[in-house]
Amino acid sequence: MSSSEVHYERRGAAAVLTIDRPERRNAVDAATATALREGLKEFEGDEGARVLVLTGSGEAFCAGADLKALDLDVDDPGGPLGFTRLTPSKPAIAAIDGWCLAGGLELALWCDLRVATPRSVFGCFERRWGVPLVDGGTQRLPRVVGMGRALEMILSGRPVGAEEAERIGLVNELADPDRHLDRALGLAERIGAFPQETMLSDRRAALEGAGLPLAEGLELERRAGREVLEVAARGAARFAGGEGRGGSGV
């Protein structure tokens, strides 16, 4: 899959999906949203791709919806920006450099993990123009940083620098300048090297259990764990045989 707006590339265990509209700070119009959804579809069907890395070209990750085009469908079941109302079956990492604003922030929040450079800037800048958050931001931001900080960002629309973003948990890791993609790919290789069945089961339990009462979440965890007990038994046998002692392999 490739288009003039979005490129899909396999890099080891990762599939790299790049928004390529640097002249618009990678703002998303209808064609770009369609290309992003097609990229997710290709990733889901690619058995060798264990992690999706989402990034942008030029000096921005994504500046959100293209307000000059205004051709996105707010009622699209996949989400106006392509896939923000869908949940990938495998992990996703946002590799962020520069502006990560409005819908771009919502795309980053759609990912499981976020790696950013020190010059990255985050914010709900759509607040300034009276544009609502409709790509998951009101739901995912509180889950990532907590309700208090999320409401402060949503209501104020202020810019949040990379260091503050890391401090509040919005960013998982700050990478060296221009090394965000390399670091994300390194994380993808590490994640991709683990036994996938149990890792994906734990991920699903964490995502689906968010917001459930504790008892229901624990029951969900139990059911998900039972489904992968055979894989767990094989892993335990390897450890008992001496593999991984002293933390090796982690």
Q: Judge whether residue 244 has pLDDT over 60.
A: no
pLDDT of res. 234: 73
Confidence tier at 4 by pLDDT (50, 70, 90)? confident
Confidence tier at 159 by pLDDT (50, 70, 90)? very high
pLDDT of res. 232: 55
The pLDDT of 162-175, averaged and rounded, is 98
Domain ranges for the chain: 6-193, 196-241
Kindly report the average pLDDT of the chain as a whole number.
Answer: 92
pLDDT of res. 226: 87
The pLDDT of 201-224, averaged and rounded, is 94
Q: Judge whether residue 227 has pLDDT over 90.
A: no
Q: Judge whether residue 250 has pLDDT over 90.
A: no
pLDDT of res. 155: 98
What confidence tens digit (pLDDT) does each residue in 49-87 have? 999 999 999 999 999 999 998 899 999 999 999 999 999
What confidence tens digit (pLDDT) does each residue in 110-131 have? 999 999 999 999 999 999 999 9
pLDDT of res. 37: 97
Q: Judge whether residue 249 has pLDDT over 80.
A: no
The pLDDT of 209-224, averaged and rounded, is 94
What CATH number is given for 6-193 in this structure? 3.90.226.10
pLDDT of res. 230: 75
Confidence tier at 236 by pLDDT (50, 70, 90)? low
DSSP the chain: -B-SSEEEEEETTEEEEEE--GGGTT-B-HHHHHHHHHHHHHHHH-TT--EEEEEESTTEEE--B-TTT----TT-TT-TTSSTTS--SS-EEEEE-SEEETHHHHHHHHSSEEEE-TT-EEE-GGGGGT----SSHHHHHHHHH-HHHHHHHHHH---EEHHHHHHTTS-SEEPPTT-HHHHHHHHHHHHHHS-HHHHHHHHHHHHHHTTS-HHHHHHHHHHHHHTTHHHHHHHHHHHHTTTTGGGTT-
